[in-house]
């Protein structure tokens, strides 16, 4: 019996390079905040830096919800999303972990 998928949640956690500047770190949420307006397939979008409650956490996380697998794929491959990654995130990322799961 197949699993019924009513939506997809995408979660990604980044660790920044030690040499990432504060200016570079601040640019990430500024750039990501434009994506929901550019990509209507995003149903919900939240992101932010770690608040430092636990040792060993990542530095920044993004959580995005989509109505379907297809909507997630539109987001994943969207030129605005790809540009945000290439221009703002990739230059300072040291590590990345992600998961997409059914809602």
pLDDT digit string (tens) for 86-99? 999 999 999 999 99
How far, in Å, CA of 7 to CA of 88, rounded? 28
Assigned domain for 85 exists:
yes
Average pLDDT over residues 63-68: 98
Residue 1 pLDDT > 50:
no
Cβ proximity of 50 and 61 under 8 Å: yes
Percent of the chain with pLDDT over 70: 95
Q: Is 28 inside any structural domain?
A: yes
Tokens 């987001």 sit on residue:
75
Number of domain units in the chain: 1
44, pLDDT greater than 80: yes
Q: Is residue 1 in a domain?
A: no
pTM of the predicted protein model:
0.92
- The answer to whether residue 3 sits within a structural domain is no
Cα–Cα distance measured from residue 23 to residue 45, given in angstroms and rounded to the nearest whole number: 22
Residues near 15 by Cβ (< 8 Å), separated by ≥ 6? 58, 59, 93, 94, 95, 96
Could you tell me if residue 91 is inside a domain? yes
Q: Which domain holds residue 96?
A: 8-102
Per-residue pLDDT at 5: 62
Is 53 inside any structural domain? yes
Beta bridge partners of 97: 13
**CATH code (residue 55):** 3.30.70.100
pLDDT at 6: 82
**Contact between 66 and 88 (Cβ < 8 Å):** no
Residue 88 lies in a domain: yes
């Amino acid at each position: 019996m197949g699993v019924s998928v009513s939506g997809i949640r995408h979660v990604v956690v980044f660790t920044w390079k030690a040499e990432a500047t504060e200016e570079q770190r601040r640019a990430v949420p500024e750039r990501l905040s434009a994506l929901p307006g550019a990509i209507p397939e995003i149903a919900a979008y939240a992101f932010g830096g770690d608040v430092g409650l636990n040792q060993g956490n990542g530095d920044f996380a993004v959580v995005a919800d989509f109505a379907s697998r297809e909507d997630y794929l539109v987001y994943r491959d969207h030129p605005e999303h790809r540009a945000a990654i290439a221009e703002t995130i990739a230059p300072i990322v040291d590590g990345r972990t992600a998961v997409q799961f059914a809602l």
